Amino acid sequence: MAHEQQRAGFEQPKGDARPIYYFEFPAPGPPDIETPVDAAVKRCVRAGFGGLIPTLPQGTVLRDMDDINAVRDMYRTLLAKAAAADLTVGFFLDAAFEHLVIRMMDDVGETDLHAKLLECKEYICREGESLSRRLHEGELLSLVAYSEAWGDVIDLRPFIKDGKLVWQVPQGNWLVREYLAVPEPDCRRANYLSFDASYRYISMAFGLFAEVLSPYLGTTLTTLAYAEIGFHGMNRRDWDPSFNKLFIKRFGFDPAPLYPALFGYAGKDTTHYKAMLMTVRASMISNGIIEALHRFATELGLCTFGSLTEPKLTACSFTAGDAMLSNLHSPCALFDKAYLYGTNSVKIAAGAAYNFDVERVDGELFRGYTRHDRISLLKDAMNAFARGVNHAALHLPKELMAESEFGDFAARVQTMLRGGRHVADIALLYPIYDLHSKVTLYVSPVTGYEYPETSTDSDYMTLINAISFYAGHDLTVLHPRTMRASCRTEGGVLYLDNKKNRESFRIVVLPATNIISLPNLRMLKKFFSEGGKILATGVLPTMAFEYDKDGKNDEEVRRLTREIFGEDATNKNIMRRYCHNQNEAGGEALFLYFNATTVDGTHMTKSSLVNRAINSFGVPLDVYLPGMGRFEGTGALNAIYPEFHNVGLDRSFPDGGMFNHIHKRTDEGDIYYFSNATDKDYNHHLLLRRAQDVDEWDPHTGKIHARPEKFVSYRGEIYTYLRLTLPAHTSTFFVSRPVSPDRELPVMTVIENLETEHAKLNTEF
């Protein structure tokens, strides 16, 4: 976007840059639908929003054609009024539509859309027993004899005759286990793990209202919206009969004998088995419902907007599979239930956008907030924007709907954060294979929402927050697949070579992980050998995701880890505060041990130590905020919601919030967004790398003014030094262009240590 166009869009935001308003249709039945729909459209216009996504009241059941026709009438009325008001509308795949489609198919005897579960049937057999036992109903995926004592597994499929297991039990104690894909009992959900089933469900749901929706396609109707994508079956045992074929296609061998690893121990290679099995399980969501939504919407000329089931995401493999790949086409963060609950989801959604070259980072904000006020809502919106969201849809309470102040603010921020390239000098490798390897399925009569347990050494989200909220630096989360396919290293710099979002990293962070992709580790070794800086915490990798029976890949992982981090770091009999390794090219590798425990019981490395480690590398980073408040992470943002709410973790943040920023670069210059979501005013200096002419653009008022600046030298680079004044609960943009090469710069102050210079610098200007 050209500078002049951006300025015009900032001063007078356009409709497509404005946020979206979630509103609730009345329950089907009342004769008067004009009044609530008309009121919603007027409220949307008054609040400065650009579109609406209508939902039905939670628990709505469409019982007959009268109910269906009532919803059609509501959409017909909404679309007409929205078109007249120049607003857009999203068609929301409501749970009521899904239940209706499933029921309609059941009525004609078709159950192929049903969600399915992985069922495990087991029974004990005795040594020497001659078994002749009929198999259970369901699609058989694995039949094994399992020794709990030794973890030994015998594939019993060759012993099936005429629907019976006929087998002579050998020496030892054995359990016979049948693993079956069975329809979910009392099913009202579609099979999200199947592309075909998902696509048919979406087509049928849309088809119920196609007569009303079709005339507005691509004009007023612009979005296919959804929510709650993830594993929702009993005990999260969602499954699909295609699993074995998909596994064979991915890894080249039959997974049937590995099924015991899904529910527990299956021998010395259990970690490898789990990582591979859960990787395929996760792929069924991204290649199933997520791909079906994208394909269907694209065919109709619509965009998609929707969120995953769990905004916490620290244990995403259990709830959402691979959260980054599930955000592949329309990355979306989710702020749900309470202030700050969902902050973690933004870095994963934004990371997916940066990894896979998607311009838009969606955010579903304020869903189901139980306690809120205008200030907390504004602060959470700023948290979302400064961590990467640039296209928000909001469940707006009356506190923000009286006038257009909030809508105008959000529109200005979104205008500025669209397009450009994300700038961060730090990359963090997403430890998804390690997360997969920690999942264990189970069978239990538990009802209601089943909260996942996060593995005690899964520290990646705590580490992300330590870098952001304590060290004050932005970062990009890199998916292992992206690192393999789209990254290269040269001269101690790791490059993300996308077509649009091109990034370069001088520091790579490796969170605690036992298992890693071998090509990723080889790249990290090359990065280190050429002068790159690597920071690792808690646990170093010892296993390769690329499993081989003879263990040669694991041996290479251990060798490369030792070469990067040194002998002491890989010796479990040595425990220090840290281990440091360096080479002649300037490469450095720091390993920090766990030294604290978070409120959710996971291990962590203190944020203060992480900050010292980053500073010790001496890398000239893009932004320095030495005066920002430091938030020492406690893992509060990782806690499950009941704990988060009941213990009052949202109130444990010093000063009521955190300081955030994001940096984007366009062909014309740089855009910095700073947000102060604390309850204290901020009035300190900051440093921006490169000599720049800077203007300040206030998204709350739309005013623009030039900023005085000076130039200093720090860590061998020229920095622009400015004063940043941000009252509590406000944010601002610094928009800059490089200083002309013809301009003679003054003699610059050389800063040796930014922290010790803080007090001195803060007295200037």
Mean pLDDT of 115-143: 93
Distances (CA, A) of 629 to 184, 240, 470, 694, 725: 50, 49, 8, 24, 14
Mean pLDDT of 501-522: 98
Instruction: Give the mean pLDDT of the chain.
Output: 93
- Rounded to the nearest angstrom, the gap between the alpha carbon of residue 568 and the centroid of all alpha carbons in its chain is 34
Mean pLDDT of 4-15: 85
628-686 pLDDT per residue, tens:
888 887 788 888 888 888 878 777 777 888 999 999 999 999 999 999 999 999 999 99
216-233 pLDDT per residue, tens:
998 999 999 999 999 999
The model's confidence at residue 765, banded by pLDDT at 50, 70 and 90, is very low
446-465 pLDDT per residue, tens:
877 888 888 899 999 999 99
Answer yes or no: are the C-beta atoms of 344 and 308 closer than 8 Å: no
CATH 3.40.50 placement within the chain:
426-623
Whole-number pLDDT of residue 15: 84
Distances (CA, A) of 350 to 345, 360, 378, 509, 556: 9, 9, 20, 17, 32
**Whole-angstrom Cα distance, residue 405 to residue 724?**
23
CATH 3.20.20 placement within the chain:
3-109+193-233+321-419
Residue 650: DSSP 8-state: G
More confident of the two residues 588 and 634: 588
Strands (E), 668-745: 670-676, 682-689, 692-697, 704-706, 710-714, 717-726, 730-738
Task: Name the nearest CA neighbour of 545 among 277, 322, 326.
Answer: 277
CATH 2.60.40.1180 placement within the chain:
654-762
60-78 pLDDT per residue, tens:
999 989 999 999 999 999 9
Counting every residue, how long is the chain? 765
Whole-number pLDDT of residue 704: 95
Whole-number pLDDT of residue 1: 57
The fold of 426-623 is Rossmann fold (3.40.50)
Using CA of residue 271, residue 272, residue 273, residue 274, what is the dihedral sign?
A: positive
Whole-number pLDDT of residue 764: 44
348-394 pLDDT per residue, tens:
999 999 999 999 999 999 999 988 889 999 999 999 999 999 999 99
Assigned superfamily of 654-762 = Golgi alpha-mannosidase II (2.60.40.1180)
CB proximity list for 420: less than 8 A, separation 6 or greater? 664, 665, 666, 671
394-434 pLDDT per residue, tens:
997 777 888 899 999 999 999 999 999 999 999 999 999 99
SS3 25: coil
Q: Is the pLDDT of residue 754 over 90?
A: no
Strand partners, 177: 122, 144
| pLDDT over 90, % of the chain | 77
Task: Name the nearest CA neighbour of 276 among 424, 401, 434.
Answer: 434
237-282 pLDDT per residue, tens:
999 999 999 999 999 999 999 999 999 988 899 999 999 999 999 9
3-109+193-233+321-419 is classed CATH 3.30.70: no
